[in-house]
Amino acid sequence: MADTPPAAPLSPSLSPGGFLLNAGGAFAALLGLVWLWVLAMPLAFLDPEYPSWLAKQQLLAACDTRGLLILGDSRAATGVMPALLPVQATNLAVGGGKAIEALAAFDRALRCPTRPQRIVLSLDAVHFTRPDLFWERAARFGFVDGGEIATLRRVSHELGDLSLYELKDSGGPPPLLRDALYRIGFPALYAGSLLKGGLALRLPRNRRALHMGLAARGHYFFGTAGGSGAVAADAHLRGFQPLPVLIWYFDRLLERAEAAGVGIDFLAMPMNDATAREVDPAVRHAFRAWLATREAKHPGFRVLGEVMPHWPDRFFGDGFAHLNPEGAARFSAGLASCLAPAGLPASGLDPVTLDPACVQRLQAAPPSTQNEAQNGWFKDTGPDASASVAPISKRGS
């Protein structure tokens, strides 16, 4: 019987070690490509709200922030339309915004050659008392950088308040690793968006939203329904106890503005009647009393009108008390009357001031029509008068 010839040696590429090496190389190459895509093209796959945040970042990068600067949460983002105001205005309020996002935006504006003339700041009580969407929005969307996250880590540990810093989904990486991953834009942080967005399926829509956000100078909508009687989160507060870490950021914002000579007007956006009816009066009183302590300490900070005003349900577009297009247009047109300098033509060079009595009337009830607000709605009202809009109520942040 003939001897069986020896088996040919395996090619290095077919050996177990070679296969693993090739597979590892292919995975590394794929990861590198995805990583580059995440860093270079976030507009192609990130959530539909991202382009609205990006528009605000681009306005800041271009130093297009002179005049009136609107900072705050989503109610301010939807409720103040710069295009309807008689002065240069930029809306940098963001969904889930708190004092930390407001401070980040203001710090960037201070680096510009021309500083804002005045800030309108609007934060509801919930965004002082609960951590909300920081990692899902501000960190993922690049609104805060690595240095600002490091500051949050330091301040949180110094204050013993980790409610915001350690807020994460179950199963997420430990905080220090998470911070590092955000600094380098590691793809795993964006896996959900990459899968839902199909790498680039969101690009056309997100590009349109970005152009709209830039054209609207940072304004954007959430719900656009023709009314909402849903009860928002404000009604579920059983006390007003601001988080220490958010107090720290709020105080830093007031201090930086004071040092820069920029006044801040705290202007609460209206919630719907359905929510207002269920708000604990003690929350309202405690919220106003706490803000008064900041007014006493910072002469450049003032609270205008009510801290939890409300409008009829028909002017709201969702269950979070966001003004719908009609409500936002009415509020902005009314705010324009409160901003227009008496006897001066409207221009970006006019002094930016708000009339407190006018703001109080605006908060009390919307103008009957946008034209009435733009054509002197308040001129026919007395100091304690409000617009003749019959409130309607249904059964709602």
Expressed in percent and rounded to 5, the helix, strand and coil fractions of the chain are 50, 10, 45
Per-residue pLDDT, 41: 84
Kindly state whether residue 392 falls inside one of the protein's structural domains. no
* Cβ atoms of residues 51 and 43 within 8 Å: yes
CA-nearest of 209, 266, 219, 177 to 46 is: 209
Per-residue pLDDT, 339: 87
Kindly state whether residue 35 falls inside one of the protein's structural domains. no
Per-residue pLDDT, 51: 97
CA-nearest of 70, 60, 55 to 111 is: 60
Indicate the burial class of 160 (C-beta count within 10 angstroms; 0-12, 13-18, 19 or more). Answer: exposed
| Pairing outcome for strands 89-91 and 67-72 | parallel
Kindly state whether residue 102 falls inside one of the protein's structural domains. yes
Which CATH number does the domain housing residue 206 bear? 3.40.50.1110
**Chain-centre distance for alpha carbon 262:** 21
Q: Give the Cα separation of 92 and 73 in Å (integer).
A: 9
Phi/psi region, residue 78 (left: phi>0; alpha: psi -120 to 50; beta: rest), is alpha
Kindly state whether residue 239 falls inside one of the protein's structural domains. yes
The DSSP symbol for 381 reads S
Kindly state whether residue 211 falls inside one of the protein's structural domains. yes
* Cβ atoms of residues 175 and 13 within 8 Å: no
Indicate the burial class of 90 (C-beta count within 10 angstroms; 0-12, 13-18, 19 or more). Answer: buried
Number of domains in the chain: 1
Kindly state whether residue 228 falls inside one of the protein's structural domains. yes
Written as tens digits, the pLDDT of the chain (397 aa) is 556 666 555 555 556 656 566 666 665 666 677 778 777 789 989 999 999 999 999 999 999 998 999 999 999 999 999 999 999 999 999 999 999 999 999 999 999 999 999 999 999 999 999 988 899 999 999 999 999 999 999 999 999 999 999 986 545 788 999 999 888 888 888 888 888 877 788 999 999 999 999 999 999 999 999 999 999 999 999 999 999 999 999 999 999 999 999 999 999 999 999 999 999 999 999 999 999 999 999 999 999 999 999 999 999 999 999 999 999 999 999 999 998 554 444 444 445 789 999 999 999 999 875 555 445 444 433 333 322 222 223 323 3
Kindly state whether residue 18 falls inside one of the protein's structural domains. no
**Structural domain for 319, as ranges:** 48-133+150-164+202-380
Q: Give the Cα separation of 142 and 114 in Å (integer).
A: 24
Spatial CB neighbours of 190, under 8 Å, sequence gap ≥ 6: 38, 42, 45, 46, 140
Buried b (16+ CB within 10 A) or exposed e, 164-173: bbebeeeeee
Per-residue pLDDT, 354: 93
Distances (CA, A) of 23 to 33, 34, 186, 195: 15, 16, 21, 22
Kindly state whether residue 30 falls inside one of the protein's structural domains. no
* Cβ atoms of residues 388 and 364 within 8 Å: no
